[in-house]
Amino acid sequence: MFSIFKKDPLKKLNKDYSAKLEQAMHAQRNGDIKSYSMLTHEAEQILKEIEALEQNSP
């Protein structure tokens, strides 16, 4: 009945994933390769969570 009030975790993860990739791109352009590497790794972890949710959803 109240399913309209539930937030979609997949939508939030996709938004977080895009944000991390954008932050990584800016870090790379600024020459901060260490931050770029860390942000890319975090984005990959989020992508794994997205894939897991997609596989479990009907």
The pLDDT value given to residue 3: 63
| In-domain check, residue 3 | no
Residue positions counted in the chain: 58
Instruction: Identify whether 41 is part of a domain.
Output: yes
The range of the structural domain enclosing residue 21 comes to 8-56
Residue 27 lies in a domain: yes
Whether residue 16 is contained in a domain is answered as yes
Has residue 34 been placed in a domain? yes
Going by the DSSP 8-state scheme, the letter that residue 6 receives in this structure is S
> Is the pLDDT assigned to residue 49 strictly greater than 80?
yes
Is 2 inside a domain boundary? no
Mean confidence (pLDDT) of the chain: 91
Q: What is the pLDDT of residues 11-35, one digit of tens each?
A: 999 999 999 999 999 999 999 999 9
The amino acid at residue 25 is M
Q: What is the DSSP string of 32-58?
A: -HHHHHHHHHHHHHHHHHHHHHHHH--
Q: How many domains does the chain have?
A: 1
Residue 8 pLDDT level (bands cut at 50, 70, 90): confident
37 lies in a domain? yes
Report the alpha-carbon distance of residue 34 to residue 57 in Å, rounded: 35
